Amino acid sequence: MIRDITIGQYYPGESWVHKLDPRLKIIVTLIFIISLFFIRDFVGYSIAVAAVWITIGISKVPLRFILRGLKAIFMIIIFTFALNMFMTGGTVLVKIGFLTVTYEGLYRAFFMALRLVLLIIGSSLLTLTTKPVKLTDGIERLLNPFKRIGLPAHELAMMMTIALRFIPTLLEETDKIMKAQMARGADFESGSIFKRAKNMIPILVPLFISAFRIAQELAMAMEARCYRGGEGRTKLHELKFKKRDLAAAILTCLFLALIIVVRLKGG
Amino acid sequence: MSIIEIENLVYEYKRDEDDLVRAIDNVSIEIEEGSFTAIIGKNGSGKSTLAKNINALLIPDSGTVYVDGFNTAADEAGLWEVRQRAGMVFQNPDNQLVAAIVEDDVAFGPENLGVPSEAIDERVREALTAVDMYEYRKKAPHMLSGGQKQRVAIAGVVAMRPKCIVFDEPTAMLDPHGRDEVMDIMKRLHDDGITVVLITHFMEEAADADRIIIMNEGKIELDGTPEEVFRHADRIRALNLSVPIAVELGDRLRKRGREIPGDIIRMEELVTYLCQ
């Protein structure tokens, strides 16, 4: 089940998109998401689809890998589509019982669904082409200016790094605990949903205890290696803004300009 | 010259209100620079507490600990000097790796020390080569075996260029193969001039040290070269600790009337002696 979720997963590669500065990629993704809400007509959507299509092509991430990420939100897309299709008033196209499908509704539903799909693909492209380490690094650097108003940028990034590092460890731990409880006759597969949820308690309690123990040991190991917060820390890989980053930034600006122009002309 | 000087160290844990447990009871030890010392004891003998006092993870309740001339109980600045000079490798390889990629984890220590990035790169390469893990630098720790993970943890400490490394039961959670790997690395680091303090309960590992300290209930029970310490096999057994197989076998042969020199502690030596 956990394997199905591609949002947040990394697809290893050496493409141009992979090598971009993570700070830039985060900003570009944000701009893309915001620009989606400016789009109103067919021309605008064609530009956005083309932009995503080209980026996927350059990133060399297989399309089926990206589409798998959509599976998780498939129900939401269907729901949005249906809601928009039936609830919008206008010229009636078809009437089935109490449900009416209008021309405007169909138009709107289609674009709403498309907007959602583009939103998911856009943001999963960021995580698919950026190593988690680089992503947290980028977030830390972007949040750095807010340190002055008391935002713990380094601490947040460190927490994310550790969380990512310990997902496999905690999965292993869960597996171990489940097997140990099953060996003692615990049943996790039968019964009603409430019963099954209740049966999870013998897993969750030891898992929490073990998470606390891991945290304590890790904190000690980090201290032993002279960790004392972000102050005076250097980095193995310093982020550098390269020519290709500049090129990507210019392309993003062009994309945004195009979207705005289309919106103003069409609107 | 001694790199670690422990004088009249006392350390107490608070079990409950008003219930103090004395983990280390007035212990004094000097450890020579470049030596290989094994500290042995049962669970609760105070050996791990002693290790944490050397690295300033714990601060003595009374008495002093000096590492390379720095007092562990001194100010904040002195604390980091101590921790950089005396690195520490822990028992569980999983819970001491911070980053999701091997090379990033090894870089963690130097990053904390504020080493410039090009120099970190150099140190990471050096440290990973020293533990034969350079080809795994881009891997995720959870893809590695226990022995490999522990070697990465050692590289993380080596990258800080410590003078002394304290190993707190580094092989306790490893399979025999991983145990051999880690033992080899420890000996190699010792040959490179790093002072090694090995906390363990495996006697066979201790037999390779220059010096063995046996602890019991927070006190030093025996202290000397392996040859000297294993002469007191009966006292070691009385503490519920085992002795190396060669010593055990030599003892039993002696009881049956064979002449076996007391300084034989390794299997190979015993075999050579018996086959003369």
User: pTM, whole model, 2 decimals?
Assistant: 0.82
pLDDT at A137 over 80: yes
Residues A90 and A213 in one domain: no
Written as one string, the DSSP assignment of A159-189 is HHHHHHHHHHHHHHHHHHHHHHHHHTT---S
- The helix/strand/coil state of A200 is coil
Q: Which among A132, A220, A233 has CB closest to B111? A: A233
Question: Is A13 touching B (CB cutoff 8 A)?
Answer: no
Residues A70 and A97 in one domain: yes
Residues A166 and A97 in one domain: no
In a domain, A99, yes or no: yes
Residues A184 and A245 in one domain: no
Q: Which residues of A fall within a CB distance of 8 Å from B116?
A: 234
Q: Between A and B, how many CB-CB pairs are < 8 A? A: 96
In a domain, A137, yes or no: no
- Encode pLDDT of B51-101 as tens digits: 999 999 999 999 999 999 899 888 888 888 899 999 999 999 999 999 888
pLDDT band at B196 (very low <50, low <70, confident <90, very high): very high
pLDDT at A3 over 50: no
Residue B237: CB atoms within 10 Å? 13
Report the number of distinct structural domains present in chain A: 2
pLDDT at A4 over 70: no
Q: Which among A168, A221, A228 has CB closest to B96? A: A221
The answer to whether the CB of A35 falls within 8 A of the CB of A255 is yes
User: What is the ipTM, given to two decimal places?
Assistant: 0.88
State chain B's mean pLDDT as an integer: 90
Alpha carbons B112 and B123: distance in angstroms, whole number: 13
Residues A249 and A210 in one domain: no
Residues A104 and A9 in one domain: yes
In a domain, A144, yes or no: no
Residues A217 and A245 in one domain: no
What integer pLDDT is reported at residue A8 of this predicted model? 58
Nearest-CA residue of chain A relative to B88?
Answer: A224
In a domain, A6, yes or no: yes
SS3 percent helix, strand, coil of chain B, rounded to 5, is: 40, 25, 35
Question: Is A12 touching B (CB cutoff 8 A)?
Answer: no
What integer pLDDT is reported at residue B139 of this predicted model? 87
Alpha carbons A212 and A217: distance in angstroms, whole number: 9
Q: Which among B57, B96, B120 has CB closest to A236? A: B120
Taking an 8 Å cut-off on Cβ atoms, the answer to whether B117 and A234 are in contact is yes
In a domain, A230, yes or no: no
pLDDT band at A48 (very low <50, low <70, confident <90, very high): very high
Question: Is A240 touching B (CB cutoff 8 A)?
Answer: no
Q: What mean pLDDT is predicted for residues B212-228?
A: 92
Element (H, E) at B112: helix B102-113
Domains of chain B and CATH, by start: 2-227 (3.40.50.300)
Q: Would you say the C-alpha torsion B89, B94, B98, B102 has a positive or negative sign?
A: positive
- The helix/strand/coil state of A261 is helix
What integer pLDDT is reported at residue A6 of this predicted model? 47
- Encode pLDDT of A54-103 as tens digits: 999 999 988 888 887 788 788 888 988 888 888 877 778 788 777 888 88
Question: Is A175 touching B (CB cutoff 8 A)?
Answer: no
Q: Which residues of B fall within a CB distance of 8 Å from A132?
A: 100
In a domain, A169, yes or no: yes
Q: Are strands B36-40 and B211-216 parallel, antiparallel or unpaired?
A: parallel
Q: Give the rounded percent of residues in chain B with a pLDDT score beyond 70.
A: 100
Q: Which residues of A fall within a CB distance of 8 Å from B78?
A: none
What integer pLDDT is reported at residue A1 of this predicted model? 36
Q: Closest Cα partner for B20 from B11, B10, B9, B12?
A: B12
Q: Would you say the C-alpha torsion B225, B231, B234, B235 has a positive or negative sign?
A: negative
- Encode pLDDT of A148-206 as tens digits: 888 888 888 889 888 888 888 888 889 899 899 889 887 777 778 888 888 888 889 99
Tokens of A103: 């021309």
The answer to whether the CB of B110 falls within 8 A of the CB of B157 is no
Structure-derived torsion over alpha carbons of residues B160, B163, B168, B171, reported in degrees to the nearest 10: 80
The answer to whether the CB of B199 falls within 8 A of the CB of B118 is no
Among B142, B143, B169, the strongest candidate for a mutation testing the A interface, having the largest count of A CBs within 10 A, is B142
Residues A118 and A206 in one domain: no
In a domain, A162, yes or no: yes
Q: Domain residues for A212?
A: 154-224
Residues A219 and A246 in one domain: no
Q: Give the contacts of A244 (CB within 8 A, at least 6 positions apart).
A: A16, A19, A20
Q: What mean pLDDT is predicted for residues B216-227?
A: 92
Residues A176 and A44 in one domain: no
Residues A8 and A96 in one domain: yes
State chain A's mean pLDDT as an integer: 86
Residues A15 and A121 in one domain: yes
Q: Which among A214, A228, A234 has CB closest to B116? A: A234
The radius of gyration computed from the CA coordinates of chain B, to the nearest angstrom, equals 20
In a domain, A232, yes or no: no
